[in-house]
Structure 1
Amino acid sequence: MPVPRNSKTTGSKQLRPGKAGAVENARPEKEESCQAKRSPSSPQGAPKKRSAFGDLTNAHKNQAGLRKKDATKAGPRKAQKGTAALGVLKNNEINLKKATRKTPPDEASAEPKLVPKNDPVLEEPAPVQAPAIEDIDKEQLGDAYASAEYAKEIFNYMKEREEKFLLPNYMEKQYDISRDMRAILVDWMVEVQENFELNHETLYLAVKLVDHYLVEVVSMRDKLQLIGSTAILIASKFEERCPPCVDDFLYICDDAYKREELIAMEMSILRTLKFDINIPIPYRFLRRFAKLLPLPWSQCAHASMETLTLARFICEMTLPEYDYVQESASKLAASCLLLALKMKSLGGWSPTLEYYSGYSSHELHPLVKRLNFLLTYQHDDKLKAVRTKYSHRVFFEVAKSAPMDMLKLEVALKS
């Protein structure tokens, strides 16, 4: 299985320099880049910013002109109706007296004041909860690479796609593969991601590819590592700027498979999944929700980044666990962030977090308790890649953080 980290420097090809992660409009991007890769080499120059194009049309002028034309047309019509009414009243004095009795001039002049259309005093109380919701994309509207104008629609689309990629209990039909074997494979994939200095999105997507492939195909245990390494290769081509080559994956498998076998497995995975590999992963949602941490990033960047890293550690701890396979990516990410907030005593689920995540605090409580139980009791000495990874000072040693007591967590969630 995994090759020692220090042994690769002599026998294998030299690893590529650190690659930039997926372009996302997250505030902690500068500090998170140092955590994604430990290599001292820096990525290529950061993309230049440019302002988004403004409105080049004269639609607002045309609309203003149309409004003026409509106003001029509406005037004579009202005047004609008024003259016709006066003519009728002059011809019939009895109707004129009845009309003046029913609608006196004082009441007629008072009617418009009862329901004013453009009264700012009455329109002000209408948006009651609007000030509580913060626009997290307004600061990056001028950045063409951030896609802030479409960020909300993109994540709504990803959340809709979660229904298409719900995983069933596929271990029931896998007679030669068990949950423990899957956990060992994922633990090895974490080490591969760390040794190759790949993005975290690559790791999460590779694990999703393995699960979705095993849903459709009954596999043998001797092919499980081949499936895992091929999934990392496909995910690297999808996420990385400079993905590792095929020979690198043959090397990490200790030459247990041939080049033709790996290429054939790549074709099999893509055909089985119908080439639809843009699967929603919790790490993307977590980076989106991290922009809503209730701390000023300019003054408490260290504390905010440590909280985000703790949420990432909790989320990555669920990868080897088969019990979390059927959880949706967005709900898992929101629950990990809520547990991290409670562990750091940073408050609860704000209205802004509820708005952008789509989950209320009560919807997340059961999953938050399960995650805290995972950190507290479910320890396997054989599967320690994630804990070892996040015990490094680059990740603020968040793996050494003490989990919350179950009773204290229960009280904190109710508060």
Structure 2
Amino acid sequence: MASRVVDQQQVRGMAVAGGGVKPVKKAVPDGRNRKPLGEIGNQQAVRGIEVKPNRPITSDCRNFRAQLLANAQAAAANENNKKQVCVNVNGAPAVLDELVPVKRAEAPKEVPKKLVIVKPKPKEVIEISPDTVDGLIEKAKPEKKKEGASKKKSAPTLSSVLTARSKAACGLTNKPKEVIVDIDAKDVGNDLAAVEYVEDMYKFYKLVEHENRPHDYMDSQPEINESMRAILMDWLVSVHSKFELSPESFYLTINIIDRFLSVKTVPRRELQLVGISAMLIASKYEEIWPPQVDDFVSLSDKAYSNVQILVMEKMILGKLEWTLTVPTLYVFLVRFIKAAIPDEQMENLVYYLAELGMMHYGILMYCPSMIAASAVYAAKCTLNKSPDWCDTLKLHTGFSESQLIDCSKVLVSLHAKAAKNKLQGVYKKYLSADRGAVALLTPAKSLLPPAKASGRSS
């Protein structure tokens, strides 16, 4: 049989040479010898057979795709040019021209006009009935009359001028109200000042100051007179300064003595013992380190023993029913001085006048709050502080200027006599430079009797 020649395809890993097939060594995979794969559809040519590569995208396909892209862009441009918003008068939604066919002859007439017109939102219209209009007109008429009447009243008349002049002559003109100063504004952050309760505290003090107030007891004391009381008070001023006690202790001592003498008859020889025991009680109540009983024994030149002082102390507390928390003169002085907004000189002068008053038995006819307010008023008059009395002081003291005149005159007269008085305890105390030497100030002439004022000026 004749042999048939058959073309053999080149197999991977084999090489065709002289009609024989020889094995070809595979190349070692190396990163340097790697080549990118060709198209999957391509095939290697076999000897004797021409194989064309498989190309899915041809030049005709590219042209067709470019034509589709150009058509789509042209359609989008035409769509943007033709897109029109139609506003329906009846409230129907707007549609496009492609959806609603419109004749070309009618389009340029109707459509452009509807595009430009945009109706605003409907506004609420308030209808006013004829009755309402008439009522508004009637209400407006009296206003016009009032305006005209006010214009007529504003015009000055002869009677109004005469009335104003007469009020001015009598001092009845309307003065502007004074501004009341908040004296506790600076102490808001100070817990010890008790700003939230201080007003209520002093209202309570004003109510109870008459409950523990000593009455006129000198007639009920057969062996004691006013001068003896003054001598005792003058000696206690020196004792108080000797022990360097607080002002609260001194004012409470005087209060205890007067209250005890109001309810108990005391012989003359025990009057000093009453004063010593009263200061011992006040010191125990007010001081952190009160004086000892032996200290008072030595100050009295051993006129009384320890036992006598303790017995008198027990008797005083029993008669007073252990009531020691009372509004003394010092309590009101602190508050009223603060309301006066003083300087250091005025503050020392107020205390000086108050202590001069305590030496005087006749001052007991006035309550402690009035004595304190009168001392402030007399000090302002002495230093020529203007005004003598203001709304702030009237509010916090509760007294008007006319109510303080009598008590103030008593204090100023004691001030005028202090330099020549035999009892110099208070006078020397306020002659020191530490207290501003206020004892040397000239008393207020406006509160002195005319004869004394003229005698001092001459």
TM-score by length of 2: 0.59
Offset of residue 166 of structure 1: 2.8
* 1:193 corresponds to 2:240: yes
Of residues 418, 434, 437 in structure 2, which corresponds to 1:394? 434
What is the deviation of 1:271?
Answer: 0.9
Matching of residues 217-296 of structure 1 within 5 Å: 217-294=264-341
1:369 to 393, 396, 409: 409
The CA deviation at 1:405 is 2.5
Which of the two has higher C-alpha Rg?
2
- Mapped partners of 2:192, 2:258: distance in 1: 32
Q: Would the aligned equivalents of 1:204 and 1:281 in 2 still touch at CA under 8 Å? A: yes
Whichever residue aligns with residue 199 of structure 1, its letter is: S
User: How far off is 1:109 after superposition?
Assistant: 10
The structure, 1 or 2, with the larger RCO (C-alpha pairs under 8 Å, 6+ apart) is 1
Matched, 1:322 2:369: no
The aligned amino acid for 1:333 is A
Residue aligning to 2:156: none
In 2, the alpha carbon distance for the partners of 1:289 and 1:103 equals: 64
Q: How many residues are matched?
A: 287
Aligned pair partner of 2:392 in 343, 346, 352: 352
Counterparts of 1:265 and 1:287 in 2: how far apart (Å)? Answer: 31
> Displacement, 1:407?
6.7
Contact 1:336 1:368 in 2 (8 A): yes
| Inter-partner Cα distance in structure 1 for 2:280 and 2:291 | 7
Give 1:105 shift.
6.4
Percentage of identical aligned residues: 32
RMSD value, Cα: 2.6
Q: Which moved more, 1:308-317 or 1:161-170?
A: 161-170
For residue 336 of structure 1, report the CA deviation from its aligned partner. 0.6
Query: Which has the larger helix fraction?
Result: 1
Partner of 2:378: 339
Cα gap change, 1:208 to 1:276, in 2 (>3 Å) = same
Q: Is this contact kept in 2: 1:369–1:406, CA < 8 A?
A: no
For 1:204-238, what per-residue CA distance to the aligned partner results, in whole angstroms no more than 9, with x for missing partners? 11011001001111011111111001100111111
Q: Report deviation, 1:293.
A: 2.6
Shift of 1:378: 6.1
Q: Structure 1 stretches of 5 or more lacking a match?
A: 1-99, 114-127, 296-303, 411-415
Alignment of 1:93-242 (within 5 A): 106=136, 132-242=179-289
**Can you list the C-alpha shifts for 1:238-259, whole angstroms capped at 9, x where unaligned?**
1112211221112211111111
Deviations 1:342-364 (A, max 9, x none): 11111211100000000011110
Q: Aligned pair in 2 of structure 1 residues 135, 216: CA closer, same or farther (>3 Å)?
A: same
Deviation at 1:382, TM superposition (A): 2.9
| Partner-residue secondary structure (3-state), 2:250 | helix
| Equivalent of 2:423 in 383, 388, 398 | 383
- Aligned equivalents of 2:133, 2:355: Cα separation in 1: 74
Q: CA deviation at 1:102?
A: 11
Q: Is the 8 A contact 1:372 1:406 kept in 2?
A: no
The unaligned stretches of length 5 or more in structure 2 are: 1-129, 144-174, 451-458
- The whole-number CA distance in structure 2 between the counterparts of 1:403 and 1:210 is 29
**1:377 and 1:286 mapped to 2: Cα distance?**
23
Q: Aligned partners of 1:336 and 1:306: how far apart in 2?
A: 14
Instruction: Name the aligned partner's letter for residue 369 of structure 1.
Output: K
Distance 1:129 1:272, change over 3 A: farther
Secondary structure of 1:225's aligned partner: helix
Q: Deviations over 1:305-337 (max 9, x none)?
A: 101101110100112211112211111011011
Alpha-carbon distance in structure 2 between the residues aligned to 1:374 and 1:381? 9
